[in-house]
Structure 1
Amino acid sequence: MTAQTSILLFTDLDGTLLGSEDYRYDAALPLLARLQAQQIPVIPVTSKTRAEVAGLRETVGLTDPFVVENGSGIWIPQGDPRFPVAGETWGDYTLLRLGGDYATIRQGLRQLEQVLKLPLQGFGDLTVAEIQQLTGLAPQDATQAKQRDFTEPFVTPKTLSPQTLEEAAEALGWQVVVGDRFSHLISPQAGKGKAVQALVEIYQTPGQVFTIGLGNSPNDLPMLEAVDLPIILPGTRGIHSGLAGRGWRVAPCRAPEGWARVLEEVLFERNSP
């Protein structure tokens, strides 16, 4: 890597930086500390909420911007000269809003129900205990998962194809990010790829920018397609079928060990003569 090239690192969380079942991250901590010391931004890009990510950032020592709710909101620490942007002020952050508001998206879910003639269970319809049962999250984490600002996750109906769900939402002016357990109703202006592009455009650094993205599921496709080096984290059964066959780099093992090992390899390669 030359002195004129800066790295921006975008990463999904669950199953990528965090273990998919136990949410552990200890194996990634030494590398995270090195990246922070080298002033390489590590930017979470996730379906999680602001409340969920803010707590995690403090725990692992991240100080860079973060993207929440499938690219609906970009939270930039105020005073970070690398990411100068005008937006809404929320405490110690500037919010760059790509998505709408939660009340409106809840109305959209009810409209989608009527079109599909099928009841849809969103997080707003579920208690904390029910979210715990569905996700395996601890009580505090489930509570934070309900604190939504822009989007609504709902239990993916097993009787509908992803295409049917996506087309119905699009006809109403929304997007659906379809997942195995949960799908997410989001604004048409939002998206992980759009958030990545927005951050790259405002990033102030001398020379060129090289972007790396890490993800483990089709939910991460927009982000992975927007970066220079997409990296796939395998799961217990290997690469997700929705990411297979693209010729992208694959981490040698699952998260969090795989996250750390593949980035160690990439950084070594880029620093080698």
Structure 2
Amino acid sequence: MKDYTIAVLGCGVMGTAVASAILKAKFDPYPIRIIGCTNSVGTNDLLKSQLKHEIFEYSYGSESNTKAVSEADIIILGCKPYMYQAIYDEIKSGLTGKQLVISLLAGTTISELTIFSSYVAKVMTNTPARFGCGTAAISFSKEAEAEYEDLVMKLIGTVGEAFKIPEKNMDAATALVGSGPAFCLLMMEALIDGGVRMGLPFEVAKLSAAKVMEGTARMVLETNDHPAVLKSKVCTPGGTTIAGLLKMEDAGIRSGIARGVEEAAIVSASFAKKK
């Protein structure tokens, strides 16, 4: 695909994050236009303040959005999951049936999304995508996999790290990748609270907690060691770290986090069953 145009339908948190990541990246073939489509004045104004780039355009309202879709080769669905049918009804006259559809919607299946096109890539990413340090899991329809896999991996790879998985694993990816930042932020908040409780100024505790989590993640990725191996290297016999870890284990921290991922995956799977 060359000289292609992307229409982003629904420029909320995730739609804007992915569009921002694409605009900041350099890859070939690069889009010649990205059109951000919104249906509210507030969202349109916010988008104008957040995304400014020579190839980025703004579209507001159903008629303008339908026109944007008719001119697009790729459609990124960034709306709320329950809105996809209403959006389809609104812009269907602009669909050609041959456009590549990249969905960011949790709990919506590839089969459901084929009302837009048979070329569907289902993506689960997260909010750090906006800063180029996100994660994305991708599943494809057979048609999209055969025709557009390389292009989708390039486009979505701009968020940070992208990998291909079977659609049956997407609920687990939704829990770990999509909800994971909130789980990490809860842990970071707890680390900050602990630091403040023991006398650190808030700003010092916040910076320390953020850098500890960032550095630890980098260490896991760079060494490729199991986290348990790296953890054991920090635990001096009779020291502070093992004492703190045992206290956390007493509170069920490990199982609480794992069960949180499990519950998020269960809820993701339930979305499809409710339709």
Q: TM-score, normalised by structure 2?
A: 0.31
Q: TM-score, normalised by structure 1?
A: 0.31
Which protein is richer in strand relative to its size? Answer: 1
Structure of greater Rg? 2
